[in-house]
Amino acid sequence: MEFPMGFISAGTDYSSLERHIPAPYFRRSFTLEALPVKAELLICGLGFYELWINGQKLTRGCLSPYISNPDDLIYYDRYQLTEALRQGENVIGICLGNGLQNNPGGYTWDFEKARWRGAPALALRLELTAPDGSGILLESGCDFRTAPSPIRFDDYRVGEIYDARAELEGWNLPGYDDSGWKQAVPAPIPRGEARICQANPIRAWEELAPVSITPSEGGYLYDFGLNQTGVCRLELQGEPGQEITLRHGEHLIDGRLDRLNILCDQKNGENQKAVYICKGGRESYTPSFTYYGFRYVLVQGLKPEQAVPSALTYRVLHTDLPERGGFRCSDETVNKLQELTRRSDLSNFMHFPTDCPQREKNGWTADAALSAEHVLLNLEAEHNYKEWLRAIRKAQSPEGALPGIVPTGGWGFEWGCGPAWDSVLTWIPYYVYLYRGDREILEENAHAILRYLDYLSTRIRPDGLVCWGLGDWCPTGRGADHYKAPLEFTDTMCAMDICRKAAYIFGELGRQSQKEFAEALFRRLYQAARERLIDTNTMTALGSCQTSQAMAIAWELFTPAEKPEAFRRLLELIEDADQHFDMGVLGGRVLFHVLSDFGYTDLALKLITQESFPSYGNWLARGATTLWEDFQTDDVKVASQNHHFWGDISHWFLRHLSGIWYNPRGKGGELDIRPCFAEKLTFAEGWHTAPEGRISVRWEREGERLRLSVQAPETLSGRISLEAGFVFRDGVSVKPLASGEYEILPLP
């Protein structure tokens, strides 16, 4: 089926923050003498659409079809409509939202200046096959009629305004009189490549009732108990013209809703807002073209008798990402942190991974790269990763550079990028291949990776290092970019890792010359790093901080012979911090793994779970229900309370506490089980569904002994290895991989 090329809109006017233009309705009626044997619809809405056939809402998911730069990619959804059609008159009804097509609320990242900015538009093609084999073709054109909807303003960052007095009863049903509607007008054809959206859709997953309602600021503060992502359904017996305002937030100060922590600047103080104007009578409203990150809603305009629990219901939204793994143990702090990580991952997966759902809603590249491994261990995310990578490749500059956010209208090349952020182009294909065996994702991205390596080679300084962009972001207790780890250190280390993973990717694809290029670039960076970034007399990495030391150990800047002394130095740095971590997100990706690799799992678990600041346990003690953006004290503003780039602890739980090491050597078909029996725990269990089948591991203490249960697909080979100080009942510490129950003894 060909993509429809004729785009239409309601006009040329589009909303700004100062001047609101309603979201347009479109309708087209047509008559069928007989029911078709086949009916296929392709539809693109720029930015979002909702679809009805004969009054039945059929939209594939929320915020359909996708969020993209239409200069790069335009997305269509495909529908089979045979069951929705009827003999006689039929009606196609569509409502369009602004999405990224017109996003004045994205001014911080210049989206209001995007060259594609314009009124929302649609393209549609309906192909029908009659019982006699003849065909009928309907396409978007001026025979569609249009009128303003009750959605008087929408912006997926700012929010929505809905005037129920402007509702048009039956507008999407047969028999409706649309003679007062205008004809649709032709709209410019977008520049981007047309695609069928293959990403999993966004859906509503659960509904939450408020846990409390408190009078506040002339209204009522609804607390839903959990910080998540979605919209509220408002239901009430309203009076004509009654105006209800919903302000969404995640943070309270002295019992009042604080929204300053979710504003990027003060230009638009109305972020995360919904306004509903009543028509009178029993009415219900749910926003269509926006979403919010929130726990609390300040509702103003309700009368006391209307401020009841049923007035507001939290509809939790996120991309459809089926569960693929999980973890549980005897420590409830750890279990809660696993829950917080899962909640943050889902809250921040709206078509693609975003940095936060309440403020930016951007596809920040480092956030996604840092989270990719633990997300793939827990969730079925590869389809959406592959779709987003198409946008990343389109955003790559002619020189091979990458922006810090995708999609972008050009923002993010001058600030917000750098090797740690650019690693997304290599890390996501690498981890999807590692955990899912998807060769296609390597083939699709190999050329873009090569282009980036070529660009990277032009950024090497005369001293052999690289240094630009962002580094160890959100360091503990300091401003977001006040790093202890020098930027030249983290950038060079990340660049080396990109080269290492790129060489592996090229090797798997049999691209020998490209592999050799990546390896040569790695050696060039490695030699300079060895000379300039570590002191081999003291085995200390540049910066003398936890991030530098852990990265240099984890990513092999120290040789195997040097690592024991370098690790001893890392322990000193942790001791200097009173046995707390002191790092940014790059350090957070490696520190706990390094500790476990050297037999210090108990220390890693303490750093994660202790209640004193800074720690994840401290977040819990302060009421966190999602992962926060940074580790700050109470007297310093936490910028966001729903981020996911600190979530690698879930990967650490599964890998080190339960012991699941899938594809440990990157050769495929292998599984190692290497549990760490943390003294604090009486049991731990984890599971992951690999392409070969379900893997599950559980260990528990039985007095001085332990019982280990392993279930693994027979097609996987590998070994079960015990950490130092433990042996199997027969006295060995390593066994070939096999499902079964094992008795483990501590050495005397």
**Range 146-171 average pLDDT:** 97
How far apart are the C-alpha atoms of 447 and 442, rounded to whole Å? 9
**What is residue 482's predicted lDDT score, i.e. its pLDDT?**
86
- Alpha-carbon distance of 391 to 395, in angstroms, equals 6
Distances in Å between the alpha carbon of 242 and those of 273, 311, 314?
17, 15, 22
What's the half-sphere exposure (Cβ side, CA atoms, 13 Å) at 686? 27
- Indicate the pLDDT class of residue 478, thresholds 50, 70 and 90: confident
Q: Which residue has the higher pLDDT, 479 or 130?
A: 130
**Helix, strand or coil for residue 353?**
strand
DSSP at 584:
-
358-372, 637-651, 673-687, range with the lowest pLDDT? 637-651
Q: What pLDDT was estimated at residue 633?
A: 87
What's the CA dihedral at 601, 573, 551, 403 to 10 degrees? 120
3-state secondary structure 661-696: EECCCCCCCEEEECCCCCCCCCEEEEEEEECCEEEE
Phi, psi of 699 (to 5 degrees): -130, 150
Mean pLDDT of all residues in 166-185: 97
* pLDDT computed for residue 206 by the predictor: 96
Give the CA dihedral 602, 603, 605, 609, nearest 10 degrees.
Answer: 130
Band (pLDDT 50/70/90 cuts) for residue 575 is very high
Residues, the chain, total? 748
pLDDT digits (tens, 9 = 90+) for 692-702: 999 999 999 99
Side-chain half-sphere exposure of 326, counting CA atoms within 13 A: 8
pLDDT at 406 over 90: yes
Residue 340 contacts residue 648 (beta carbons within 8 Å): no
- β-bridge mates for residue 735, sequence order: 720
Q: Which amino acid is at 582?
A: D
Look at residue 2 in the predicted model and tell me its pLDDT.
77
Distances in Å between the Cα of 66 and the Cα atoms of 25, 44, 407, 428, 643 are 19, 9, 11, 20, 21
**Cα–Cα dist 607/601, whole Å:** 10
Task: Give 717 or 132, the one with higher predicted confidence.
Answer: 717
At 731, list the tokens. 């006295």
Q: Which two tokens stand for residue 49?
A: 């659409």
Q: Is the peptide bond before 409 cis (omega within 30 degrees of 0)?
A: no
Q: CB-based contacts of 170: which residues, under 8 Å, 6+ apart?
A: 55, 176
Q: Among candidates 595, 540, 600, 598, which has minimal Cα distance to 569?
A: 540
Distances in whole angstroms, Cα of residue 601 to Cα of each of 551, 580, 585 = 17, 14, 20
Cα 343 to Cα 626: distance, rounded to the nearest angstrom: 6
- pLDDT tens, position by position, 223-250: 999 999 999 999 999 999 999 999 999 9
pLDDT at 263: 73
**How does the average pLDDT of the chain come out, rounded?**
96
Contact between 723 and 716 under an 8 Å Cβ cutoff? The reply is no
pLDDT at residue 284, rounded to an integer: 98
Burial (Cβ within 10 Å: 0-12, 13-18, ≥19) of residue 643: buried
Residue 703 neighbours by CB distance under 10 Å: 5
Q: What value does the mean pLDDT take over residues 253-269? A: 76
Q: Is the bond preceding 398 in cis, omega lying within 30 degrees of 0?
A: no
* Residue 269 predicted with pLDDT over 70: no
Side by side, the strands of the sheet bearing 705-711 are 325-329, 683-690, 693-702, 705-711, 740-746, 726-728
Residue 266 has pLDDT above 60, yes or no: no
- DSSP output for 566-583: HHHHHHHHHHHTTS----
Among the listed residues 387, 467, 471, the one whose alpha carbon sits nearest the alpha carbon of residue 421: 471
Q: Which pLDDT band holds residue 347 (cuts at 50, 70, 90)? A: very high
In the predicted model, what is the mean pLDDT of residues 294-302? 98
Band (pLDDT 50/70/90 cuts) for residue 75 is: very high
Place of tokens 């009178």: 280
Round to whole Å and give the CA distance between 274 and 234: 10
Question: What integer is the mean pLDDT of 564-580?
Answer: 98
**pLDDT score for 527:** 98
pLDDT at 1: 63
Beta bridge partners of 194: 74
Alpha helix (H) residue ranges in 191-318: none
Tokens of 388: 């987003």
Q: What is the C-alpha to C-alpha distance for residues 591 and 601, in angstroms, rounded to an integer? A: 11
**pTM (global) more than 0.95:** yes
pLDDT score for 421: 98
Query: What values do phi and psi take at 48, rounded to 5?
Result: -115, 160
How high is the pLDDT of residue 634? 77
Rounded Cα gap, residues 388 and 61, in angstroms: 17
